[in-house]
Chains A and B, each alone.
Chain A
Amino acid sequence: MRRRGFLKKIPIAATAPVVLNGLPVGLLAQGQLQQVVSSSSNDKVLVLIQLHGGNDGLNAVIPIDQYAQYYNLRPNIAIPDNGSRGYIPLDSTLDIADQVGLHPDMVGTKTLYDQGKAAIVQGVSYENHNGSHFRSRDIMFMGGDFDDYLGSGWMGRYLDYCFPNYPDAYPTSEMPDPLGLEIGTSVSLAFHRDNGIPVAVAANDPEGFFNLINNTGGLPPESVMDTHYGQELQWIMDIEANSNQYADRLKEVFDNGSNTPGVTYPETYPLSAGRLNNPLAPQLKLIARMLSGGSKTRIFLARIGGFDTHGNQVESYDPTLGNHAALLYHISAAVEAFQNDLQGLGLEDRVVTATFSEFGRRAASNASYGTDHGNAAPMFVFGKAVKPGIIGTNPDLQNLAGNNIPMQVDYRQVFTTILHDWMEAPDQAMVQTLFDGFLDQKLDLFGSVVTSTRDEFISKRFKLNSAYPNPVRDRTTLSYYINTAVQVDIELLDTGGRRIRSLVSGHQQVGEHRVSVDLSDLRPGTYIYRIKAGPLDAAKKLIKM
């Protein structure tokens, strides 16, 4: 599209009005320039994953305290409460009223939770929920009430505040990248501003995009008419100019970037039934690579479809298998790999990932092994900065609203919290984003001293207690607590780290465990006993008399 090298990079400090090839270049007012610098000075990144079609939250996050009611509402699709494909109890340290089970294919989510890198927000929706996919999705993208009709989206308005005069004034050395990047080939309403082209670029293949842009197009016209035709023409010309501006950069960042060696992203659902290929993993893998390549893009939007499970949500012969199971696996496994990748790349401190869906599904199932459109559903928020835990409580399945799960949290409370507490958006940005009304209803999603919060969280759920008695004459009792059913290995080591013997080895259930071990044959001296169990890797000293 730039065979003739049209539209050169625009100098940010231009001193006179400029028109380049008919495209008027807006000048940055003094204050705006400062605003750019101040509001984009941090490098926090938000990755949003849209679950398109309406995710059945109730089969993803199962209320353990109301299992019987849960089962009765949806006997043909209910996830069992026991067996190898029973739900995964998430956290037995919580109040029983808050305890949930995850779908058996959400092992990755459980792992991240145990590492203190995942939070669940229960019952997310908005007042007067709309049963339409399209309207509901639009509302969540635009960031409005049920009766708002905005032509712009909340991400668009937020980024428009941070980076005024887009697209004319960009790229700059401070912001060389697209403000938002949607993985795909088109841009959602979420990234639309009040006027002009959206703030995001859509790409799923930076290299192909670069080649494509460099081998197509001619010179655009230098002026447009003041008609509807002219307005459409201007739109196309702006997109074309924007493509030219960002194609090089996207490729450069992609080429500079890489993924963590040894981190494998999941490709397929290992259990044969359902939607086999993981459509999310390559998107997250690309995002990690772009970030490692130096991308300063602030918001990424990835998408996974197939959640509109009116029929065949589960296999008729096994409610733990089928389309929805595969989708939940795809998300959990892809996000886990993404998080490991970010950790390997040293980027874990910069990125928070959140899922959202236009609505949850009906609490009661239908006869087609599926569920119709419902209301509230849980959201998942992942990242090292996230304060782990569950926000909100289990829905009261005996007091549903028209068979629907009622709202506990407005979706804008979640996004407001993320923008304000994570992205560090100033209050004025929240005004322009139209979320200022939610500033006093933020959620406790990000602890203030993140590391200690997470360590404390983990040590409450996975801990090795002191052996008793210690010093030991003949026998001592080891005790430990685990929050996940995992392989537990406890070994006795000498002070030089050499392995003396195995004390415990086996797959164990959630809970407090006590094991009495006979050490009567051990020579007197100082020893170490070390436990490895899921995220737990701890050691303590033992004296043999």
Chain B
Amino acid sequence: MASLNPVTGTLGTRRSAHILRRSTFGPSKSDISLFAGRTANQAISELFQIPATPAAPADYDTFKSWWIGQMLNSGRSIVEKMVFFYHTHFTTKEEVVQSSQALYHQNELFRYYALGDFKELTKKVCLDNAMMIFLDGRDNDRNNVNENFGRELLELYSIGKGPQIGPGDYTNYTEQDVKEAARVLSGYGNDEDFLTIDPVTGIPTSFVKNDGGTVANAHDAEVKTFSEKFQNTTIQPIELVGEDATVAATLDELDQLIDMIFNQDETARHICRKLYRFFMYYEITPEIEQDIIEPLATTFRNNNYQIQPVLQQLFGSEHFYDADNALAEDDNHAAIIKSPLELILGTLRYFGVTLPTAGTQAFMDAVDNGVLSPMGLQGLYLLEPYEVAGYPAYHQNPDFNRNWISHNHLARRYEYIGRLMTSMDDFGFQLDAVAWVESNISDPSNAQVIVQEMVDELLPEIITSARFDYFLNDILLDGLSMGNWTTEWFAYQGSNDDSAVRTQLEALFNALMQSPEYQLH
């Protein structure tokens, strides 16, 4: 059976690379060797240290490249990976929101709660300015209830939709609940000047529409009655002025709504399934549901919806390292298809490719041309998922992250690797294969050592000896002898003319990374 029992012992290279690939935007060579000597708990305690909050971008219009910069430079921290996870969960589209500042503040919110209280985060997202625009919350008033946000709050963001078992009945909630939730959420407006500040987070938020005083004059003050899925809970204002709720009572109704949703056991399960699919594997069997999801959900509830204990339990478990049974068929090692973001940033971070100084125009151009634009070609337009549910890889049954791989997208992933070695003019940065080998491979004059050390860390799984021979003999040596490589390498060292070894090393880099194996982690 699958088990969350804590794993023991030092990690070693394979497990070190595994936890780093899954929990960060990819390790460098030195990260892998550092964690190899640590236990899972030691690794986790470093991953979960909270870095200093980054300074805001000087110009909000540069928010996207600023955000990529945070991911690129996030070192051995899980925080930025969680920020991205929250973006895949509470998705918004820039095309609809059309305010870089609103998107930045939403991102700030994700970072504030990255390892913290998921329930509080959900509440803050209900009030988030970008979300108010994206799902029409600002247009939802008592005379004309707009259900858009209320529906997605239940369907996507919290309890999740179960199978439809009757007219308007989605197991976990009903159409009636969508309508009642929308009424609870009525009467808010987005603050276009970003002057309304949340007292807890210090981050700009929306406001309750009012008469200039304490009366919430667009909020539906009638009693909202939920279905038996929520134990027929009623929600109503705790304070009225005439027939209107007060501003405080309107906000209190949101508290009641969130309490009601998080009082259902299913909410924790739904979120834990999303975490599992994001960090582990997309297929949730009855065994995984019982042995992994259920105990993680219990941890989540017992910790009042703090997300950190759940993640730590998963990353520290035998299950995470396939150590819970002797079977290979259910191993999850290297079974996630990388997103374009993980493919690109993972490559740049592993090879330590240097971008122009953060914050400069050159940096922004480099990110636009060398990261964001190729990501789009590979099927991930950052902040422009095709639909409200987010990027298909994180929710679309039955293929989940296989959705990243189409005929076009796969070819674009391969193409990126090829371009990366000659991309200085196009991207403003490039990967220098010779320089990297020279300073990172223990003995670059030995072709076998080069291939061995690269295969061990770049490819996520053990390869056959035939495959190794292909990389070594067919590609790097081009059918010639090991001795010939040594001669070529020393000739380069003596002459500083790297053209011969560069051709062969670039061929090797291409073969290793324009491969099916490199698409996985």
Contact = CB atoms under 8 A, between A and B. Distances in A.
Interface of A: 1, 52, 128, 130-135, 138, 146-147, 149, 151, 185-187, 189, 192, 201-203, 209, 212-213, 215-223, 225-229, 231-233, 235-237, 239-240, 242-243, 246, 305, 308, 310-311, 366-368, 370, 372-373, 402
Nearest to B471: A218
Contacts of A226: 328-329
Given A135-B164, A209-B407, A218-B511, A228 B467 contact: no
B425 interface: no
Interface string B19-63: 000000000000000000000000000000000000000000000
Contacts of B511: 218-219
A373 B516 contact: no
A305 B178 contact: no
Given A186-B379, A229-B460, A368-B146, A218 B514 contact: yes
Instruction: Identify the interface centre among A185, A189, A201, A218: most chain B CB within 10 Å of its CB.
Output: A218
Given A235-B402, A366-B144, A212 B516 contact: no
Nearest to B154: A132
Given A216-B514, A233-B517, A133 B146 contact: no
B464 A223 contact: yes
Nearest to B404: A186
B141 A232 contact: no
15 contacts: A1-B411, A130-B170, A132-B151, A133-B387, A149-B163, A202-B406, A216-B411, A216-B418, A222-B466, A223-B464, A236-B520, A240-B516, A367-B144, A370-B139, A372-B146
Nearest to B460: A229
B121 interface: no
Contact of B139 (A218, A225, A233, A367): A367
Contacts of A189: 396-398
Contacts of A243: 407, 410-411
A223 B516 CA distance: 12
B414 A236 contact: no
Contact of A132 (B144, B161, B398, B411): B161
B164 A222 contact: no
Contacts of A138: 397
A237 B517 CA distance: 9
Contacts of B408: 185-186, 202-203, 209, 212
Contacts, number: 183
B410 A128 contact: no
Contacts of B414: 1, 216-217
A366 B142 CA distance: 11
A221 B136 contact: no
B337 A232 contact: yes
Interface of B: 135-136, 139, 141, 143-148, 151, 155, 161, 163-168, 170, 175, 178, 281, 283, 328-337, 379, 386-389, 392, 395-399, 402-403, 405-412, 414-415, 418, 460-461, 463-464, 466-467, 470, 474-475, 510-511, 514-517, 519-520
A217 B170 CA distance: 45
A310 to B, nearest CB: 5
Nearest to A234: B516
A261 B473 CA distance: 54
A52 B410 CA distance: 25
A243 to B, nearest CB: 4
Contact of B161 (A135, A215, A237, A239): A135
Contact of B147 (A128, A134, A373): A373
A169 to B, nearest CB: 19
Given A223-B464, A228-B332, A366-B144, A192 B398 contact: yes
Contacts of B148: 310, 372
Given A189-B396, A228-B281, A229-B335, A310 B136 contact: yes
Nearest to B143: A367
Contacts of B392: 186
Contact of B407 (A130, A133, A202, A215): A202
A203 B408 CA distance: 7
Instruction: Identify the interface centre among A1, A228, A311: most chain B CB within 10 Å of its CB.
Output: A228
A301 to B, nearest CB: 13
B454 to A, nearest CB: 14
Contacts of A310: 135-136, 139, 146, 148
Contacts of B135: 310
A235 B335 CA distance: 11
A225 B136 contact: no
B381 to A, nearest CB: 11
Given A226-B329, A308-B388, 11 more contacts: A134-B396, A186-B406, A216-B418, A217-B515, A228-B283, A229-B332, A229-B334, A232-B337, A232-B520, A235-B405, A366-B144
Instruction: Identify the interface centre among A52, A138, A222, A233: most chain B CB within 10 Å of its CB.
Output: A233
A373 B163 CA distance: 19
The 5 closest A-B CB pairs, nearest first, are A367-B144, A216-B414, A228-B335, A151-B398, A368-B139
Contacts of A132: 151, 155, 161, 170
Nearest to A76: B144
A213 B407 CA distance: 9
Given A226-B329, A305-B386, A236 B405 contact: yes
B406 A187 contact: yes
A367 B136 contact: no
Given A132-B151, A147-B164, A368-B144, A311 B136 contact: yes
A45 to B, nearest CB: 21
Contacts of A220: 515-516
Nearest to B148: A310
A212 B136 contact: no
Instruction: Identify the interface centre among A132, A133, A213: most chain B CB within 10 Å of its CB.
Output: A132
Contacts of B510: 218
B146 A366 contact: yes
A225 B161 contact: no
A131 B163 CA distance: 13
A131 B175 contact: yes
B516 A130 contact: no
B71 to A, nearest CB: 24
Contact of A212 (B328, B411, B474): B411
Instruction: Identify the interface centre among B161, B170, B379, B515: most chain A CB within 10 Å of its CB.
Output: B515
Contacts of B517: 221, 233
A220 B466 CA distance: 12
Nearest to B327: A227
Given A212-B415, A229-B333, A229-B461, A128 B407 contact: no
Nearest to B409: A185
Contacts of A135: 161, 164
A48 B416 CA distance: 33
Nearest to A185: B408
B279 to A, nearest CB: 14
